Structure 1
Amino acid sequence: MPPIHPPASGRLLAAGALATTAVLVLSSCGIVRDLRGEDPQDVEAAAEEEPIEEDPRPEVEAAFPYTREGQIFQDNNQDSTLRFSITGLERTDEYTVLYYENTYVDHFEGVVRNLAMPNTLIDPVSGQAFWQLMDEDDYFYGSVAPDEDGYPVEVGATNEYRRYFPRLPDEVAQVTFVGSGLGAMTGIPVVDVDEEQPDPEDPNGPDLALTGPEPGDYVRFENRRPEPGAVEYVGEMESFVDSEVASTTRDGDTETVALKADVMFDFDSAELTSEAEDVVREAATSLERNIDPAAPEVTVIGHTDGTGTDAYNQDLSVERAETVRDILEEEIDTDLIFAVEGRGSDEPIAEEGGPDTEEAEARNRRVEFSYSVDRSNEENEGGGREDGVLGSSERHVFPPAPFVEDDTAEVVDSVTDGDVRLDVHPLRRDGAYVISTVTLTNTGDVPALPDMGGEDAVSPGGPTEFSQGALGGFQLLEPDTDLVRYVTQLNFGTEENYSGFAEEVHEMQPGNEYQLIAVFPAPPAEVEELTLRAGPFGEVDGVPFAD
């Protein structure tokens, strides 16, 4: 079979048979060990001496399997109902092993591929993402396909699989799994083991690839364990929160605040307006609060739009950056090291020249400052909104969401676009993020492909990189502020491995319904409802958080 490549920007494909499950004979339930790697009795004794800051990652009882069932997109339009079960997640000294099963419960013929996101493990507290281990030829380690056609599949037969991931950090006790095509499976516990489970003793996959499995069969495959030099992809969830005066991008341990020049400066001026001085002071407080004291460097960069000459734009961008630098230095007591640059119009974040060119030009006129974040100084309980800081720069961290078998049981509202109905379900807080789950149903008599992208899905002048993918144009708006939360991006370090954390929409068969997710940075605990901007479906007000 051909090699499986890392996720590409835009459409993310995962082989349905490749992204299916391996059975885990795990009869006993275990308690995930203390997250700090310490003996619980020692921790209790230490607590009597001094208070310990509460950890947002609670101890979790492992109760495999964790199962979802629903309709998924297939590349041959034979969209099928899949029962997907995670039967184990083990952390060894070398890597992490995922065991899972796939059972198709209705029509299914031939070799098909599940058009879902690639199998990915997410730590929702830190925002780290872990993709499957591969060899140098881009083949995944784990269950081996019997031949180039892939894995034998039959309705009612259960295929057992395992896949390998980079070793999860010791403090990670629960992860969110995506890749089945059935939304986000939150709260999957990590079990520490000395050794992974033995390879299947009697892999029958090669024989059944010739004869075909029967309903009720369990299909097992040979296992290929990772070898030295396995290719690892450990990425970050990149968030973007926007407001009328500033936006903040968070990518791993790097935070970039962009102050909007039209709010900060008069036309053709590098002096702050009186209103802008308060904004810069809030930015200074945010910077002082979030920066890693071990990395005191701050880079301030001015940007302009594409009008004017290159020389003019360069000079103005430098002058505005210097103005912001001066205010930051005045407001911050800590000795920080500032570097100033001007980029003129060389680095636009919104595309100019289109129907929304005025909005795009306004977004491109900005002064950014970037710095390393102190990850040890983040809110653990979601926190409330703080006075005197930029709302876009607040990060709110909750415990990982527990596992739920069905994210679609409750419908908040339903809206239509032609023959396609969008059912909106309650939001779920998951670590530092919020998951929006929706269901799309084709109510017509012929296949339908709703236009989820394009101009209707992207706000005028919106940043291009945060508006990609079928649900990439979705946004969450806080009703009592001007803060807008964009779809989080999965950033694995290269342009090819950079894509929105939102599932794609493919051709929908008549009468079928499909569960999809989009993931956003989380608002504070005091926010109980958000408005979902759902592209061509318009706005859905009052979307609550699940209990």
Structure 2
Amino acid sequence: MPSRALGTSAAALALALSLSSCGLLPDNGDPDPAPEETADQAQETVAQDLPFTRQGRLFVEDGNDVAFEVVINALESDGEYLMIDVTHNILEPLPGAVTSTSAPIRMVDPLSGEVLRVLENEDNNGEPYGTYFVEGDPFMPTHEGLATPMRRYFPAPSEEVETLTFTGAGLGYVPGVPVTYVDEFTEAPEPNVYDYIDPETWERQELPDEIFYPDDVPESGLDVTAERQSMESFVDSPVSSTTRAGDQETIALHSDNMFEVDEAEPTDEAAETIRQAAASLRENLAEGTEITVIGHTDGTGDDAYNQNLSQERAQAALELLESELGDGFSLSTEGRGSDELLAEEGGDDDEEARARNRRVELFYEVPLDARDSEGEGLDSAQRHVAGPAAYFEEMEPHTTVSDDDIDLNVYPLVRDGAYLFQMVGFQNSTLNDLEADLDGDESALPGSPAQYAEGTMGGFRLEEPDSGLIRYVIRIRTAEDEYEDFADQIHTLSPGEEYLALAVFPAPAADVNEMTLYAGAFGEIPGVPIR
């Protein structure tokens, strides 16, 4: 391919906005509604008119950053697909090509937990549907001082969805983006880019005030299963933990609370635990729901012994549960021995890891409709759903903490539907580029599930000050038994610039107005407010 002329930047994949996972500059705006505002009132506050604007910074080939801006102009659904229309502005002179890839683009329904990903055209080298310059080529010319229009397509959300939350592309997140329902997408202007830029040589003439590109619109009937994903949440307490992924939910009851060592006879505490579990099931499920009671052991002992013990404990838990629930549900048991360990055994926290793996699970499917379920059930299994968050422009950091040469700006948490969105800003305090070693969590709880303690922010967690409930970073189920953290990764930190990263957590009850953040090497940060 011919070399690109200086003044063009090469952006790859995702929204092809030349948006990299680099620092974001928050804009100005108003604070949240008052805490006493109801969910219905909060729903009304999100109806703000587009456009919405975010600013950030791009990595370019010589190591410098340049400021850029993205304006969300429209978000349209025709019932089958969703189209986002934005303009992208380079705000400073470009010294070279963009070098870093962007964080994945996602449109999120914060009520149901559905995640929509950009559609790719498999007949066009897997390039995203939407705006392009040369068909099959991921590179797009962008120009300082000239807005570049851009469109991308996703699976359509449910018809009742009024707003979606935008995440990724180096913009962190943008809540409250209103969805407009149309019979046909607004037609894009006819391309004029080839009148000014030669696609063979990339040589250009003097550019007009506006420039437009061709638009690859997806044909009807595409299989969008892979691009329609769900969020998995994990909430932990001393008695139980609850995993929620799409329409599947699992309550794990800690066996050490319910059974003596190597015994299948329930303890006195088991009856109270099962009573609370039954209350949670009645709150969350319709009568007739099928519930599977699954026994698990740790990795010690003979496989045959573990299998038998896990089955016996599952049966004992089922009998207690039947006495509490009555005949309104369909119950069955499984024993899985030590085949499905949650925590990695054999390390320094071996005792805690084995205790985590000894458990009895209640597995069932739940409706996807968002609703609260606060009552007498298990704390870990309660559902907390507010209205979707309103669009906002500015947040000031709550506090700043440091580890070695890196400062961490901690922003207030934002309650958005059933989730908390947490932004933090990593800042290099030296005079040179810094390859930050941010993986892992030095303050991880002993025995924590391994999948929730990986990546730059995967090891982050929130704790409710009063109840002690632990909320881990959301994971996104990308395929069967495949997941990715809903948390950004951080790469090279240039001096002085702030690199914002996003992590998403399941939301606490409405009356919880602050959380304690455990931020890996940065330690414990109490009193982070929720707005």
Task: Tell me if 1:336 matches 2:329.
Answer: yes
Task: Structure 2: state its 5+ residue gaps.
Answer: 2-10, 20-38
Q: Equivalent residue of 2:71, what SS?
A: strand
The correspondence for 1:529, drawn from 497, 514, 519, is 514
Q: CA deviation at 1:202?
A: 2.9
**Preserved contact between residue 152 and residue 213 of structure 1 (Cα < 8 Å):** no
**Corresponding residue of 1:260:** 254
**Preserved contact between residue 193 and residue 212 of structure 2 (Cα < 8 Å):** yes
Q: Per the alignment, do residues 458 and 15 of structure 1 end up closer, same or farther by CA in structure 2, a change over 3 Å counting?
A: farther
**Preserved contact between residue 158 and residue 216 of structure 1 (Cα < 8 Å):** no
**Preserved contact between residue 239 and residue 249 of structure 1 (Cα < 8 Å):** yes
Deviations 1:349-402 (A, max 9, x none): 1111223222221111111111111344722xxx7x53x211110111111101
Task: Please list, as runs of the form range in 1=range in 2, the aligned pairs for 1:99-248 lying within 5 A after superposition.
Answer: 99-137=85-123, 138-146=126-134, 148=137, 150-204=139-193, 207-208=196-197, 210-212=202-204, 217-232=209-224, 233-248=227-242
Aligned-partner residue type, residue 437 of structure 1: M
Q: Per the alignment, do residues 96 and 149 of structure 1 end up closer, same or farther by CA in structure 2, a change over 3 Å counting?
A: closer
Q: Per the alignment, do residues 363 and 159 of structure 1 end up closer, same or farther by CA in structure 2, a change over 3 Å counting?
A: same
**Corresponding residue of 2:364:** 371
**Corresponding residue of 1:43:** none
**Preserved contact between residue 156 and residue 215 of structure 1 (Cα < 8 Å):** no
The correspondence for 1:501, drawn from 486, 495, 498, is 486
Q: CA deviation at 1:278?
A: 1.1
Identity %: 41
Q: Equivalent residue of 1:279, what SS?
A: helix
**Corresponding residue of 1:429:** 415
Aligned-partner residue type, residue 18 of structure 1: A
Deviations 1:472-526 (A, max 9, x none): 1110100111200001111132455x21111111111111111111110000011
Distance in 1 (CA, whole Å) between partners of 2:494 and 2:102 is: 16
Q: Per the alignment, do residues 211 and 114 of structure 1 end up closer, same or farther by CA in structure 2, a change over 3 Å counting?
A: same
Q: CA deviation at 1:276?
A: 2.7
Distance in 2 (CA, whole Å) between partners of 1:495 and 1:254 is: 13
Q: Equivalent residue of 2:321, what SS?
A: helix
Q: Per the alignment, do residues 521 and 206 of structure 1 end up closer, same or farther by CA in structure 2, a change over 3 Å counting?
A: farther
**Corresponding residue of 1:89:** 75
Greater mean deviation of Cα atoms: 58-67 or 307-316: 58-67
Q: Equivalent residue of 1:492, what SS?
A: strand
**Corresponding residue of 2:32:** none
RMSD: 2.5
**Preserved contact between residue 240 and residue 488 of structure 1 (Cα < 8 Å):** yes
Q: Per the alignment, do residues 495 and 136 of structure 1 end up closer, same or farther by CA in structure 2, a change over 3 Å counting?
A: farther
Q: Per the alignment, do residues 449 and 358 of structure 1 end up closer, same or farther by CA in structure 2, a change over 3 Å counting?
A: farther
**Preserved contact between residue 440 and residue 455 of structure 2 (Cα < 8 Å):** no
Task: Tell me if 1:323 matches 2:340.
Answer: no
Distance in 2 (CA, whole Å) between partners of 1:352 and 1:213 is: 64
Q: Per the alignment, do residues 215 and 482 of structure 1 end up closer, same or farther by CA in structure 2, a change over 3 Å counting?
A: farther
Q: Per the alignment, do residues 200 and 110 of structure 1 end up closer, same or farther by CA in structure 2, a change over 3 Å counting?
A: farther
Task: Tell me if 1:69 matches 2:55.
Answer: yes
Task: Please list, as runs of the form range in 1=range in 2, the aligned pairs for 1:338-357 lying within 5 A after superposition.
Answer: 338-357=331-350
Q: CA deviation at 1:149?
A: 6.2
Q: Per the alignment, do residues 301 and 216 of structure 1 end up closer, same or farther by CA in structure 2, a change over 3 Å counting?
A: farther
Q: Per the alignment, do residues 499 and 55 of structure 1 end up closer, same or farther by CA in structure 2, a change over 3 Å counting?
A: farther
Deviations 1:219-267 (A, max 9, x none): 4211111024434111111111001111000111111000111222111
Distance in 2 (CA, whole Å) between partners of 1:415 and 1:95 is: 43
**Preserved contact between residue 14 and residue 179 of structure 1 (Cα < 8 Å):** no
**Preserved contact between residue 426 and residue 499 of structure 2 (Cα < 8 Å):** yes
Aligned-partner residue type, residue 300 of structure 1: V
**Corresponding residue of 2:35:** none
**Preserved contact between residue 457 and residue 472 of structure 1 (Cα < 8 Å):** no
Task: Please list, as runs of the form range in 1=range in 2, the aligned pairs for 1:7-46 lying within 5 A after superposition.
Answer: 15=13, 18-19=16-17
- TM-score between the two structures when normalised by the length of structure 2: 0.87
Distance in 2 (CA, whole Å) between partners of 1:271 and 1:313 is: 15
Q: Equivalent residue of 1:415, what SS?
A: strand
How many residues get paired?
495
